[in-house]
Structure formats: structure tokens, C-alpha cells
Amino acid sequence: MQFDDSRSFCARLLAAGLFSLALLAAPATFAQEANSDETSSSDSDEAIDEVTVTGSRLKRSTYSSIAPLQVITSQVSREVGLINAADILQESSAATGQQIDLTFSGFVIDEGPGTNPVSLRGLGSARTLVLVNGRRLAPAGVEGAPFAADLNLVPGSLVQQYDLLLDGASSVYGSDAVAGVVNIIMRKDFDGLELEYFTTVPEQNEGMTHNMTAIWGKNFDRGFIGIGIEAETAEVVTAADRSWTNQCDRHYEMTTTGEFRTVGLADQVALGMRTNACKRAALAGRIVPDPFGNYGGWGSIYWTPGAGNSGLADWSESSSFSVPVDADGDGMVDIDFADYALESRELNRTLYPEFDSLSAMAYGEYTLEGEANITPYFEAMYNERKVFFDSGRFQLFPQVGANNPYNPCNPNGLSGVDCGLAFDSLMNNPNFAADFTDYYGVPPTAFGLGLEGPSGPVGVLPIASVFGDRTGNDNKVEQTRFVAGVRGDIPGMNFGSVANWTFDLTGVWSRSDGVSSRLGVRGDRLATSLATSQIVAGTNNVVCGVDNNNDGVPDGVMADGSPCVPVNMFAPSLYNGIVGDFGTPEERAFLFDSRDFDTVYKQAIYSAFVTGEILELPAGPVSMGLGIEHRIDEIQSIPDEVASQGLFFGFFADQGAVGQKDTSEAYAEFEIPLLVDMPLASELTTNLSARWTEDEFYGSAWTYSGKLGYRPVPSLLLRATYGTSYRAPNLRENFLLGQTGFLAVGDPCVVPDAAYDPLSGYDPTLDTRDANIIQNCIDIGGVDPTSLGSNINASYSVERSSGGAVDLLEETSDSVSLGFAFEQPWFNQFNLTIGSTFYSIELTDSIVEPSAQFIVNDCYGSPTSVRSAFCSRIRRGADGLLDFIDAGFINRDSEKVEGVDVNVAFDMTVQMFGRPVDFGVDVMMNRSLALEETFIDDNGNVDFDSDQGEFGFPDWNGSMTLRADFADWRATWQTRYIGSVHQDAAFVDDFGNANAGTADTCLGTADGDVDCRDVGFANNYFTHNASIYYYGDVWTFGGGIRNVFDQEPPMVDGDEVLAINNTPIGYGYDINGRTFYFNVSATFDLGL
């Protein structure tokens, strides 16, 4: 719902006030920086266990870290309404860029349908390493070649915390840790049987989620054992279920005066149709007689049962030669595009899919008696998730030959007419002829129109939409993971300064199995039926198929011997309601098939690690760690024939992936205390690490890292890190066997409809394209942009190919971070911690897979003085139209990201009504400074792009959490903020109007109106969450509201920003609206 002005003002005032309080009172983050000693009492002499902190493999006595580390606890996440690992991580301020969440289920994505990865620093999920308890989590997914860990397979209720290491960490953790590391720490604090239920209930329709967990565990002197099972379900949410997506894909434009408009006027201005907010990019319920323009001047004619104006019964022309058709002279055009637009029928498409998951995990350890403290340990995890979605309606537009029996333009067919004579009848309609004369000043006959005569049979292009055709996908992914290891002390390594040596031997085995199924129309069967259908002589029966006996009559079977069913692409059932079905069940059964995929990903890791002290310096012992690791990755992604050969109509071919790769690594880490307890040098410590990586296909490489931590006084830590990273191409980038298909691509060299009249030719005053685009079409494309494609839509089907390559170069990167952490030491009344980190990551030879549309836009949209490096990937045919686009993987010369993290925490205890109340403020903010990409082709052409400030990369984003603890109760308030964003300046439309064909919702100053242009920006965005929880000895319960003020997501024009019905997806905006949640758990001591 929309705010009224006063309510909106109050919400913004509250948000501004909260953030001002955060900045003035030194706020911090609910994902706090782990950079200081977090032990409960600094005065205690009690020995504490050594721990390993994410960012280092060495053991230490405190939780301090030189590396930039943020910690997100599961408890605090629950208190703001989040339990799913993907939701928690994708909402963090470090997860910039577009995040692939479940709203992408209806899109073709690299990770596979239903997968939720995480991308740190906007560098992509391939450059973000995900660990579970410090060990690599294997990729999982289905279709193509999955390469990223699927966070949907992590049992969120068993997680203790998420550690985010936010610098390049290849020398510590191996390849893929380019942007950072997510280490998911599972719970170990078991105390009997724990049952938990967590549910969310959106205020608007549908979308309830249910999470049920049962955990049993026990901690004992020498170890622990834990077993947990989690089941989660989520109802499907369609576009119709949310008020911001339930009105179709609309125009969304802003006027020169700042007004936002959605009602399209272009069709009214040009064709006299009614105004309409829904776009009409895809129209169905129509046919195109003689689509190649060999006869007459047909355009699309539309299904109008019982009221045809075209000379074909039940079919009506909308306009001809720019003249709207009002054949009956009633003063209204006979056709309105709004009645045939699929966009207005897309409300049942999936916004969030139906989702079910089941996870089970058992893990534990036990220390044997003896001085070596030998400790076997294990983890066993099984995860399963099922996703079903409907991606919306597709057009079905096969070519129907001139002699097809059902062809309405085949006078020799069952019910066809001569479309040449039909066209003449339209031209000679007195009402149309009068309108034509008013428009051109002369009648149609002056141009020879209406005098063509008989054409005989001509081909027809039907454009229909069929229920269930290629829209639904049902997929399931299972992952099994087993960890077995043993660690212990090495008593023999205690002599002199050599002490406290331990070892750790581990094996990790993972396997994921994915299956995917989609129903759709077989294009090959449809083509065979349409091409071979004949009328049986002396009857009205139609037969199709091969002619094995060469008697000139099809035998009724396909080449494989299966029955051939004649298909009538002009059956009324296909066009009634615009989205329809075939005329008979036999036709549907013959055409529909299943596109199935089976994907298996296996990973085995074997590692050995030793660590201890090697030297005693005045400032303390020098620690060292040495390790080796061998990893085997294997993928077998096997499509069926329908998928591998692209047999669905208009659907891409995916040949899957098959391959295996071995990686061997050896690494060392040292931590050296240089100074301690000296004037202006309370502590000076350096950490050095190096790793040697041997890739089966790319040889060997070294990575290294240096970190320096300096405390001039105990309360202030200054730190600096520098490291290199290495990432060899993953299995997808190497072994994706090829994805080919025909996709709709907008060709900027095709002359706009508004600028070209078939009778008077090109009018440059109505051409809205930039001058550099027109010139590039001439210079680079070698085509005439003033006439190319004058009889087609500017967006048409183009063959696109992509696939893996073994000649790709490996990625390397340099990472720098500078930061500080300060804990105020002067006042006992409150605790205050302030931390900030500047980071810079620069990649060399980064591997990218550009989209076909990006390649075209970058080539022709570049300045004429700079030839785009992507132009060499475009091929045009003899007719000048786009023929082929190579969208395969490529090495980009460099990619750079820079920014600043700000983290502040404030805690204070005050007395209220005679009782202590603990107040806390946590804030996490990120300031994005740069995100730049550079590509240089073989000819030295430089292509540079900056995404800073664009969608996914706001200047500022972050969250603030306020909490108050009183007795066993906690109240929480959280505010999330996403800064204003805009689209690439090169693609911002000029202001225009519908009369000039340059906009849709404005008429221009000449008509007493204003100009407008598409909205491709979003203003500052705030949402607020609130909850109250009770923590008892046995029972814990709480509830709250996400998006308290029901803040709507920003609205954009889908032509400018990736969106579903004008709502941008993957950028952190709340698409569910106000949502209530409730959580209850109980712990029972079973006495075991």
C-alpha cells in the first residue's frame, strides 16, 4: 500500500533519527568485527582453551584477528526474522552486487534453477569461498555446470554464527577466496533435546514459511555429540500476490517536472487505441500472413471471432501502412493491442517458488586418554531441497507453409482463402480507403494498393501462447557430505623453544545429485507435422509424417516410427483467451515432452596440517603452521535428448558438462610477535602466509599474504594486510559442453518503427537513437541503419552460443586492506568499539561470461572514437541482421573494487524502575568507492566500465540494530538502509514523448503536455524490523515484524533495470512487504 504524506514523513524522520543516533553514539553492527579480545573477563587468571579464528589456521588464546573479520550470529538474525542461511548472508552489507535469490528461479542462471549462492564485494559467487566449520563446502545444483555452494542446503537452525573474512585469502584457504570467505560455524553447545518452530506470515497473500527443527546433543568432558534435523517449507508467491507486482509489467516514466507516470499513450497517439498501463512487448492471439513480404503489405492480424475485417473470417488487421483500421466506420479502431498483450496475463508467474527442504546432520568428537590427546571427529550431513516455479508465458510462432491444409491463406486447404484477394478487399474497404486518403492525401490505389489480385497459397506465421509450454520447472537437489578426521598433540615436539605442536588429518567427501524437469512443445515434432500435413484425397482427413513407401502420401508416422499427429495451428482454442491450448488432446500429447537433466557433482578433499611454536622472542613465541591438501572435483551433468539438442521450440540447447580436475596445494603460515608492552607499542604482530597450488590444467602458482597488527596502546589496533589470490577456471568454465539457442536480442541497427514509413521512407526527426549508435552501425556493422529491418521488430531471435574453454587464463588478484579498531578505555559505564577498514581488490584476467545483449549494446553503444572489444563476437548475415553472437567465457583484463567498512558497537547498563536494563546499538555500514572493469581486445581496443552507484552498488548500505535486555526479555529494533542508485549514464534515455515515438506516457510540449523518460533509478530505501523475545531456562519464544512500515520496493521501468513487473530483483529490496514472524523453542534434559 502507498503511504500518505504524513505517514511517509514520520517513517523517514524515524529512520533518519535512528541513524543519526547511531553515528553520534558510535553505533556498530549486529555482524560485529572480531578484532579484539572477546573473553568475558580480562582480569581472570584462569587458562582458556586455544581457538582458531577465521582468517588464520594458527591457534591463539583470544578471538582477536588482524584480518578484517565480521561475525553474524544466528541468535541476532532470528531476532530480526531471519533463519535461512541465504537470507542472512545476502542481506549483509558485504554482499554487494546482484544476489541470486529465489526470485531468479524463473530465469536462466549460471548456478542453475533454485540455487542461492552468495557474492561478496560484488565479485560473484565464483570468487566467494564458502566453508562449513573451516572446511570447503562443495558446489551443488542442477543443469549446465553448477559451480557455487547452494546456501539453501545449509541447515540454518544448526548454525551458531557466520564469519565473514573480507579480504583475499587464497594463501590461507586456497583458490576461490578472491573476494573473501564465508565460514559457517555449526553449533556445539548442546544440552539435551531442543525443539524449535519458526514461521513467517506475510500480511499480503501467500508466502508463509514454516521451519521445524529437532536437535539432540550432549557435551561431556572429552567431547560432544550432536544430531539435528530441520524441515522447511515455503508457499509459492505469484506476481498477483503482491500489490507492487499485481498490475502487469507497466510503463514507468518520469516527467521533466518530476511526476511519475504509468499510462501508455503511444498506441493511442499512433493508432487511436485506448490508453494502457501494461506494456505490449509480447502479443499473442495473432497471425502474420505472408511474413516475408512477398505479396501485399500484411502485418499482424488478430483473432476476432465473428468480426473479421481482413477478408479472413475471424481475423482483423490493426493498422496498415500506419493507418489504423476502422473497417466498420464506428469511429473506433477495430483492434486494441492491450487485448492481446501477454504481459497482462503474467500475474500467475512465480515471484517466490514453492520451496521444500530437509536437512539432517550429525557431528561430534571424542578425545582419547593419553598425553597425545588423540581426538577423532566426524560430520555427516544430508540436505535436500525441492523447488517448483512457473516462469510465465512464452510465444509459439512456427512457420506454416503455404500448402498446409489448415493454413487460412491456402485457398486449397480445409477453410482457407486467397489472402491476396483478402488484402485487396481491405485496401478497398471504403472506410479504410477514406482514412488512408486523409492520412496520405491520396487513396490506396495511388500506390497500387488494392490492385494486387490473387496470390495463391502463401505462408503464415501464427503467434500463439499455450498453457504450460516451457513455463514450469520442477527440480530437486540432494547433497551428502561426510567429514572424518583426527587431531591431537605431538608430545615429541616439545624441546627448547619448540612447543605446543598439534596435528590435524581430515578427509571430506561430498556428492550432490540434482534432477530437473520441464514440460514444453517439441519444435522438431511441430515442424515435421506442419511441413508434411496433407489432406487425404477425397476426404477432409489430414495425415502427416514421413513417406517411406514413396507414394506421395505421408504414412502417419515420424522417422522414429512413432505416430505423427496433424497439428492445426489455427484452431480457435489456441487463440480464445490469448493463452490457449491445442485443438485436441492428441495434438497436445504429440507435441509435449519433458526436458530432463541429471547433474552429479563430487568433491573429495584430503588434508594434513601441523602447527606449533618454533621460536621464543622477547615479545612472545613465534607460531608456525604447515599443511598440504589435495582436492578432486568431478562433474557429470547429463541432459536428455530434448535438452542437449534444444528440441523445445525456441528454447536453448544445453549439453551439460563432464569433467574432472585435481588440485594439489601446500601452504605455510607464520605469526611473529615483534613488540609487546613497550611505550607506544603495546603490541606489534605480523602474520605471513604462502601457498603453492598445482592445478591439473594450469600448472603451478604461488600466492602469499602479509598482515601487520599494531597497538600503540591496548585500546587501539591499527592493521594492514596485503595478499595475492589465484583462481583457476572452475569446472563450469572449463567443461561446460555448450549452450546454444535462439534468444531475443534487441538490434540497435534496426530502424525504429516510428522513424520509417513503408510508403514515405525514413524520417530522421523521429529517430531516437544516439548519433554514435547510428554511426557505429555503419562503420562496424556495415549496415544501413535507416532502412535495416524496416519490416521486422527490432528485437528478434538470434543464435547465441556459450561454453567452457581450456584455453582460458587463470585469474590472479591483489588485495589490500587498511583499518583500525578502537575500544574506549576511559569509562566503565559503557562499552564502545569503533572499527573501520578500507579495502581494495584488483583482479587480472578475470573470467566473465557476457550476455548476448550486453555484447551488442557495448559494441554499438560505445563512442565512435573507441571500438568496443566485444564487436568481434558479433556476426551479421547477408541480410544485415544479427546472425550469431559468441557469448562464451572470456578473460577480461582487469576488475577492481574498493570500499570502506564501518563497524561500531555501543553497550550500556542503566537502572530503570530499580532494575538493570542493558542497552546496545550495533551498526554495520559499507561505503562503496569503486567497481571498475577493463577489457582490451587483440587490436588494443579498450573497453572500460564503472558500476559504482548503479543497482547493486549503492554508495552506502548497511544496518543498525538497537536492543534492550531486561531480566529474561530482549526487545530489538533494526533499520536497514540501501542508498540511492542509478543506471549506467550511457543508457539513460533522453526526455521524449509519444508523439515523437521517444517515450510512452507523455505527449510533449507541442500538445500542452511535458516530456518524460524511463525510470532507471531508485532513491534511498529504509526498512525497519522489530521483535521481542523471552529467553527462559526451558522455553524461548518471541515474535516480531519485518518491514514494520510496509515500505514498498522501488519501482523502475523493466527496460532499464532487471525487474519483475517493475520491481527490481536481487538488489536487497523487500518484495514480501510487512511480514509477521513467530519463534518458539524448548529444551529438555533427558538425563542421558
- Judged by average pLDDT, the poorest of 109-123, 161-175, 790-804 is 790-804
| 312 occurs within a structural domain | yes
Q: What is the pLDDT of residue 577?
A: 85
* Run of H or E residues at 861: helix 852-861
Q: Which pLDDT band holds residue 18 (cuts at 50, 70, 90)?
A: very low
Listed in sequence order, the DSSP H helices in 491-644 are: 523-532, 572-575, 585-591, 641-644
Instruction: Extract the C-alpha cell encoding 775.
Output: 554511426
CB atoms inside a 10 Å sphere around CB 491: 11
| 116 occurs within a structural domain | no
Higher-confidence residue of 488 and 934: namely 488
Per-residue pLDDT averaged across 842-851, rounded? Answer: 88
| 235 occurs within a structural domain | no
Q: What is the pLDDT of residue 934?
A: 87
Higher-confidence residue of 761 and 385: namely 385
pLDDT digits (tens, 9 = 90+) for 174-215: 888 899 999 999 998 888 999 999 999 999 989 999 999 999
Q: How many domains does the chain have?
A: 1
Dihedral of the alpha carbons of 196, 202, 208, 214, in degrees to the nearest 10: -10
Per-residue pLDDT averaged across 286-292, rounded? Answer: 86
Give 680-704 as a DSSP string.
TEEEEEEEEEEEEEEETTTEEEEEE
**Degrees, nearest 5: CA angle 568-570-572:** 110
pLDDT digits (tens, 9 = 90+) for 621-647: 999 999 999 999 999 999 999 999 999
Q: Which pLDDT band holds residue 650 (cuts at 50, 70, 90)?
A: confident
CA distances (Å), origin 784, targets 98, 253, 787, 797, 879: 37, 31, 6, 20, 11
> What is the Cα–Cα distance from 905 to 38, expressed in whole angstroms?
13
Q: What is the pLDDT of residue 648?
A: 94
| 872 occurs within a structural domain | no
Are 740 and 852 in contact by the 8 Å Cβ rule? The answer is: no
pLDDT digits (tens, 9 = 90+) for 984-1036: 888 888 899 988 878 889 999 999 999 999 999 999 999 999 999 999 999 99
Are 936 and 943 in contact by the 8 Å Cβ rule? The answer is: yes
Per-residue pLDDT averaged across 480-502, rounded? Answer: 93
Q: How many helices (H) and strands (E) does the chain have?
A: 14, 57
pLDDT digits (tens, 9 = 90+) for 130-149: 999 999 999 999 998 899 99
pLDDT of 916 above 80: yes
Stated pTM of the model = 0.88
pLDDT of 546 above 60: yes
pLDDT of 14 above 70: no
Per-residue pLDDT averaged across 313-321, rounded? Answer: 91
Q: What is the pLDDT of residue 991?
A: 92
**Degrees, nearest 5: CA angle 914-916-918:** 150
Q: What is the pLDDT of residue 69?
A: 87
Q: Which pLDDT band holds residue 4 (cuts at 50, 70, 90)?
A: very low
Q: Which pLDDT band holds residue 50 (cuts at 50, 70, 90)?
A: low
CA distances (Å), origin 731, targets 475, 597, 740, 933, 1063: 21, 17, 18, 24, 34
Looking at residue 557, the DSSP 8-state letter turns out to be B
Phi, psi torsion values for 593, nearest 5 degrees: -145, 175
Instruction: Extract the C-alpha cell encoding 642.
Output: 530434448
Of 1059, 953, 1015, 773, whose CA–CA distance to 253 is shortest? 1015
- Judged by average pLDDT, the poorest of 164-178, 348-362, 557-571 is 164-178
Q: What is the pLDDT of residue 745?
A: 85
> What is the Cα–Cα distance from 776 to 866, expressed in whole angstroms?
10
Q: Which pLDDT band holds residue 296 (cuts at 50, 70, 90)?
A: low
Where residue 304 falls (left for φ over 0; alpha for ψ -120 to 50; beta otherwise) is beta
Q: Which pLDDT band holds residue 6 (cuts at 50, 70, 90)?
A: very low
Are 327 and 431 in contact by the 8 Å Cβ rule? The answer is: yes
| 336 occurs within a structural domain | yes
Tell me the residue ranges of DSSP E strands in 715-764.
716-727, 739-746, 756-757, 761-762
Phi, psi torsion values for 803, nearest 5 degrees: 175, 170
Q: What is the pLDDT of residue 89?
A: 95
Phi, psi torsion values for 77, nearest 5 degrees: -65, -45
Please identify which residue in the block is written with the cell numbers 578472491.
178
Q: What is the pLDDT of residue 5?
A: 40
> What is the Cα–Cα distance from 431 to 425, expressed in whole angstroms?
12
Q: Which pLDDT band holds residue 63 (cuts at 50, 70, 90)?
A: low
Q: What is the pLDDT of residue 271?
A: 80
Q: Which pLDDT band holds residue 100 (cuts at 50, 70, 90)?
A: confident
Higher-confidence residue of 791 and 682: namely 682
- Judged by average pLDDT, the poorest of 308-317, 331-340, 406-415, 935-944 is 935-944
Higher-confidence residue of 373 and 292: namely 373
| 328 occurs within a structural domain | yes
> What is the Cα–Cα distance from 471 to 592, expressed in whole angstroms?
12
> What is the Cα–Cα distance from 723 to 170, expressed in whole angstroms?
8
CB atoms inside a 10 Å sphere around CB 178: 30
| 187 occurs within a structural domain | no
> What is the Cα–Cα distance from 932 to 940, expressed in whole angstroms?
18
In single-letter form, the type of residue at position 154 comes to V
Look over the chain and give the mean of its residue pLDDT values, rounded to a whole number.
89
> What is the Cα–Cα distance from 444 to 450, expressed in whole angstroms?
7
> What is the Cα–Cα distance from 292 to 811, expressed in whole angstroms?
48
Burial 702-736 (b: 16+ CB within 10 A, else e): ebbbebbbbbeeeebbebbbbbbbbbbbbbbbbbb
Looking at residue 736, the DSSP 8-state letter turns out to be B
Residues whose CB falls within 8 Å of the CB of residue 467, separated by 6 or more in sequence, listed in order: 579, 580, 581
Are 892 and 846 in contact by the 8 Å Cβ rule? The answer is: yes
Q: What is the pLDDT of residue 338?
A: 86
pLDDT > 90 fraction of the chain, expressed in percent and rounded: 65
Q: What is the pLDDT of residue 933?
A: 87
By residue range, what is the domain housing residue 301?
Answer: 283-340+397-466
| 950 occurs within a structural domain | no
CB atoms inside a 10 Å sphere around CB 42: 8
